Amino acid sequence: MKKNIIFILIFTIFASTLYAQSIARVAFVDGWVDVRTAAGVVDEALIGDDLSAGSSIITGRDGYAELLERPSGSTFRVSPNTVFAIREREVNGRNESVLAVAVGEVAFKVNRVAGSGTLVATNSTVAGVRGTEFVVFSGSDGTTLIAVAEGLVEVEAYGRSVELYADEAVEVRPGSPPGPKIQLLGRALDFSQWNESRRQEFLNDPVAALRAVDRRLDYYNEKIQELQPQFLEMTERVLQMWAELDRIYLEQGQDAATQYDRTVLGPASINAVHIGLNVRYYALSALSMRRFVVGNMYAEMKSRYITRLNDPVFIEFRNLYNEVLRKFEEITISRINATDI
Amino acid sequence: MKKNILVLLVIFVLIISVFTGCKQDPEPDPVSIEGRINQFVGDLNTASGRSGISKHFHSSHPFSNIDADVLIPLFPTLPDGSSYSVGSISSGDSTRTVVINRTSLASIGRTFIMLAAGNNWYILNITVAP
């Protein structure tokens, strides 16, 4: 009897803990839909399953799922061939959920009140949502297409943001700011067709596609190599100015130090930081490109050429791929840190 | 006797898990302009604070990509015994002029341009105080 009580208690502990950490619940499933837990366990998704941070919903070719976010009541409709992840990031010492469309299509209906501040991330952009209905499509080449049905979505990438209202869409290529707004004028976008066109473009000439990406990465690398020495030199000079500031403070007082700060140190330090931020911008752009575009291209090629690895096209592609990685590791890796990865 | 201890242990774990597993405060307190500036300046004083300093910046500005290395010219690490603290903050709409003290060293003036995202304020840009 006591053993039974202990068992029930242990079960209750696990159940209550899992429920408390749940962010969303599976409200409907149809076809092949899997849940991948934060621990990496993949299982069939069932109605009523709770999704905690780190979980992913993976839909197959015929899979479809509807999720209900708690406590906001926002709904997410996950289309076939999609990977939709619920992540968390620390903001101000607290965890905040980030809804990530890694690949595929998810339609969001965000609760107007409780959904304020919702963040939706894709391979190439982050969208801030303020009560709205919109669809996010993340293409196999890392390009994102966001279309708004109602409300407002602010799409931001690489320093440029675009506000989308009803019947507007925008395409964001990896490593690039949002493109021009697309006026939908009531017509529905065919996301399957859009993604297939992006994929076909790559498959028609994979070496040329990777070469185009490589050229873009070369641009980032050149910028990093040009700016990083400037940043280091400027930092050294500014640190000498800080020492001078404190010398002036000790010898002449705060007023003289303030004058030196306003006219010499302050502007120089801001200038140095801007150079450093530019280095970071190019390094992070390269990281995005390497992870989400180059990696995806290689996986696609490896699967297509798995039985003919000696095919000249694959060999040429792989050689170029290795060269891309070599340059990335040589130039970019030193400018990114563990948090970026 | 051993079984009783086991039951007590299980009950103890149950209580702890209920309190730690539940989100006690599902609606985080909004971060005000002054709160954000104070947190930012506080984080300048520790290595862990510096490594995560980008969280204080609004995502729409390149400052959100800042890391500990890039921060150095703007706010160098201080010698032992000295730390950054907020001396005074001006009032205004979304811009604050802040006097930042450095223990036993010269104070500096910086202008913080702030931008709200949801209920929280973030730093959009930092310039030299006029």
The domain that holds A177 is classified in CATH as: 2.60.120.1440
Q: How far apart are the first and last CA of chain B?
A: 74
Q: pLDDT at position B44, please?
A: 96
Nearest CA in chain B to A261: B108
Q: Global pTM? A: 0.59
Distance (Å) from the C-alpha of residue A45 to the closest C-alpha of chain B?
23
Test B14 with A13 for CB contact under 8 angstroms.
yes
Q: pLDDT at position A14, please?
A: 41
Name the residue facing B70 among A161, A266, A273 (closest C-beta).
A273
Nearest CA in chain A to B116: A117
Distance (Å) from the C-alpha of residue A46 to the closest C-alpha of chain B?
23
Q: Do residues A185 and A236 share a domain? A: no
Q: Do residues A194 and A210 share a domain? A: no
Nearest CA in chain B to A264: B128
Residue B107 reports pLDDT greater than 50: yes
Q: pLDDT at position A190, please?
A: 78
Nearest CA in chain A to B7: A6
| Residue from A5, A50, A69, A91 whose CB has the most chain B CBs within 10 Å, to mutate | A91
**Pick from A88, A82, A84, A83: nearest CA to A23:** A88
Test A261 with B10 for CB contact under 8 angstroms.
no
Q: Do residues A77 and A95 share a domain? A: yes
Distance CA A147, CA A165 (A): 9
Query: Considering A202, A222, A254, which residue would you say is the last residue of a domain?
Result: A202
Q: What is the ipTM of this complex?
A: 0.79
Distance CA A245, CA A258 (A): 8
Name the residue facing A235 among B7, B73, B117 (closest C-beta).
B73
Q: pLDDT at position B67, please?
A: 87
Query: Considering A153, A173, A202, which residue would you say is the last residue of a domain?
Result: A202
Q: Do residues A81 and A133 share a domain? A: yes
Q: pLDDT at position B101, please?
A: 96
Give CA separation, A208 vs A9, A71, A128, A205, A311, in Å.
Answer: 61, 48, 34, 5, 16
Q: Do residues A97 and A234 share a domain? A: no
- Report residue A81's pLDDT band, with 50, 70 and 90 as the boundaries: confident
Q: Do residues A168 and A219 share a domain? A: no
For residue A142, give the amino acid letter.
Answer: G
Q: Do residues A262 and A333 share a domain? A: yes
Residues with Cβ < 8 Å from A231, sequence gap 6 or more? A272, A275, A276, A279, B70
Test A284 with B14 for CB contact under 8 angstroms.
no
Test A128 with B117 for CB contact under 8 angstroms.
yes
Q: Cα B59–A173–A60 angle (5° rounding)?
A: 100
Q: Please compute the mean of the pLDDT values over residues A54-74 and round it to a whole number.
A: 83
The β-bridge relationship of strands A144-157 and B105-117 is: unpaired
| Higher local confidence (pLDDT), B35 or B3 | B35
A189 pairs with which residues across the strands? none
Residue pair A321/A302 in contact (Cβ under 8 Å)? The answer is: no
Test A246 with B105 for CB contact under 8 angstroms.
yes
Q: Do residues A61 and A195 share a domain? A: yes
**How high does pLDDT run on average in chain A?**
81
Residues of A in contact with B109 (CB under 8 A): 258, 261-262, 266
Q: Please compute the mean of the pLDDT values over residues A243-262 and round it to a whole number.
A: 96
Test B73 with A284 for CB contact under 8 angstroms.
no
Distance (Å) from the C-alpha of residue A311 to the closest C-alpha of chain B?
41
Test B67 with A126 for CB contact under 8 angstroms.
no
Residue-number span of the structural domain to which A81 is assigned: 2-202
How many domains in chain A?
2
Per DSSP, chain B holds a count of helices (H) and strands (E) of: 4, 4
Cα–chain-centroid distance for residue A102? 8
Q: Do residues A284 and A187 share a domain? A: no
Residues of A in contact with B16 (CB under 8 A): none
| Residue from A3, A22, A160, A242 whose CB has the most chain B CBs within 10 Å, to mutate | A242
**Pick from A242, A247, A249, A246: nearest CA to A264:** A242
Query: Considering A202, A220, A252, which residue would you say is the last residue of a domain?
Result: A202
Name the residue facing B65 among A258, A266, A281 (closest C-beta).
A281
Test B63 with A126 for CB contact under 8 angstroms.
no
Distance (Å) from the C-alpha of residue B86 to the closest C-alpha of chain A?
16
Residue B22 reports pLDDT greater than 80: no
- Report residue A42's pLDDT band, with 50, 70 and 90 as the boundaries: confident
Test A242 with B76 for CB contact under 8 angstroms.
yes
Top mean pLDDT of A23-27, A128-132, A253-257, A290-294 is at A253-257
Q: Please compute the mean of the pLDDT values over residues A11-33 and round it to a whole number.
A: 64
* Total CB pairs under 8 A between chain A and B: 135
Q: Do residues A198 and A217 share a domain? A: no
Hey, what domains does chain B have and what are their CATH numbers? 31-128 (3.10.450.50)
Q: pLDDT at position A104, please?
A: 84
Name the residue facing A9 among B10, B23, B110 (closest C-beta).
B10
| Higher local confidence (pLDDT), A42 or A227 | A227
| Higher local confidence (pLDDT), A128 or A320 | A320
Name the residue facing B67 among A254, A270, A337 (closest C-beta).
A337
Distance CA A295, CA A139 (A): 13
Residue A16 reports pLDDT greater than 50: no
Q: Do residues A86 and A190 share a domain? A: yes
Distance (Å) from the C-alpha of residue B16 to the closest C-alpha of chain A?
9
Q: Do residues A232 and A179 share a domain? A: no
Residue A38 reports pLDDT greater than 70: no
Q: Please compute the mean of the pLDDT values over residues A130-134 and round it to a whole number.
A: 77
Residue B108 reports pLDDT greater than 90: yes
